[in-house]
């Protein structure tokens, strides 16, 4: 039996839509990067992260806090952090470390962090590398950072305030136990799926068994048309993944599909890529785009 839908809807803000080296690439003289610099605007992409409403952040990356400020969101109001994985473009330990008392900050409220055990171990190592003497899985560190931590595993569902969050295994750095997340609230149902290559069969089947259907999908599109690489989707595998979702019946009738984690490798400048995506039934977002799910 499907869960009854309530009336409210989530608001998603794309804080960053670029890959690990941002977009355009810092010192690159290729035609894609040259045109992106020349045109600016929607072509300038921070490292990928997103906010749901004003209180939930997906990935505490190096650009996420300044992006929140730039787009009118208050980082001090965050209550929840969903961490997909610990790679440097998605987790900046320097941001989290500012919650210790030596920074003399006044934390308005605890921050509840949700991540896999493997990701939390790696995040701990990154913090220790800058001198933090603690462990994100230990209560003492929770008190020091004014956080709470929930370990989540593939197929597990947690309640975060009014939201239901379900984690699924990504196809990306298995040692870090990388995850993608389904987030449900009221009539809204989001699948946020970066970083990943073609999803494992166990993930596709687990999504179906969970009886989930999505009004919005945000999916990895690191490599553009005609380009290929490991650990991430390219345009062709992106489209194949969406086709699999449709075949499995997990997309709602008017579901919106967005690409994110865009690199300069084959992803042409924004307007041209937008036209390409429109022909294939999806949308290219930009940093600061806000949508109602």
Whether the CB-CB separation of 252 and 215 falls below 8 Å is answered with: yes
pLDDT of residue 6: 46
| Homologous superfamily in CATH for domain 11-292 | Ribonuclease Z/Hydroxyacylglutathione hydrolase-like (3.60.15.10)
Q: Rounded CA gap, 123 and 58, in Å?
A: 15
Task: List pLDDT tens digits, range 6-35.
Answer: 457 899 999 999 999 999 999 999 999 999
pLDDT of residue 106: 87
Phi and psi angles of residue 126, each rounded to the nearest 5 degrees, phi first: -65, -40
pLDDT of residue 5: 45
- Domains of the chain, by residue range, sit at 11-292
Report the mean per-residue pLDDT for the chain: 95
* 117 burial level (CB within 10 Å; 0-12, 13-18, 19+): middle
Task: List pLDDT tens digits, range 44-61.
Answer: 999 999 999 999 999 999
What is the chain's alpha carbon radius of gyration, rounded to the nearest angstrom?
Answer: 18
Whether the CB-CB separation of 23 and 36 falls below 8 Å is answered with: yes
Q: Rounded CA gap, 156 and 153, in Å?
A: 5
**Beta pairing, strands 11-16 & 49-52:** antiparallel
DSSP state of 149: E
3-state secondary structure of 124: helix
pLDDT of residue 3: 47
pLDDT of residue 228: 92
Count CB-CB contacts under 10 A for residue 202.
12
Low-confidence ranges of the chain (pLDDT < 70): 1-7
pLDDT of residue 43: 98
């Amino acid at each position: 039996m499907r869960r009854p839908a309530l009336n409210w809807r989530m608001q998603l803000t794309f804080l960053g839509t670029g890959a690990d080296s941002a977009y355009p690439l810092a010192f690159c003289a290729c035609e894609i990067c040259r045109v992106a610099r020349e045109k600016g605007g929607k072509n300038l992409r921070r490292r990928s992260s997103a906010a749901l409403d004003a209180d939930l952040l997906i990935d505490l990356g190096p650009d996420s806090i300044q992006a929140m400020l730039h787009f009118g969101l208050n980082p001090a109001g965050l209550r929840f952090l969903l961490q997909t994985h610990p790679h440097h473009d998605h987790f900046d330990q320097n941001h989290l470390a500012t919650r210790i008392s030596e920074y003399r900050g006044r934390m308005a409220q605890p921050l509840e962090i949700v991540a896999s055990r493997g990701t939390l171990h790696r995040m701990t190592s990154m913090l220790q590398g800058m001198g933090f003497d603690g462990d994100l899985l230990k209560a003492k560190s929770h008190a020091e950072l004014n956080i709470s931590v929930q370990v989540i595993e593939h197929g597990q569902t947690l309640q975060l305030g009014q939201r239901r969050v379900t984690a699924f295994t990504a196809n990306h750095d298995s040692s870090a136990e990388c995850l993608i997340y389904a987030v449900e609230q009221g009539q809204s149902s989001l699948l946020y799926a970066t970083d990943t290559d073609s999803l494992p069969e166990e993930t596709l089947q687990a999504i179906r068994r969970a009886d989930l259907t999505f009004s919005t999908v945000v999916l990895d599109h690191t490599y553009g048309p005609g380009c290929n690489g490991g650990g991430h989707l390219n345009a062709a595998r992106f489209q194949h993944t969406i086709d699999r979702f449709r075949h499995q019946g997990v997309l709602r009738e008017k579901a919106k599909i967005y690409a994110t984690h865009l690199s300069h490798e084959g992803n042409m400048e924004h307007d041209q890529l937008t036209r390409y995506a429109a022909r294939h039934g999806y949308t290219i977002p930009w940093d600061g785009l806000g949508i109602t799910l």
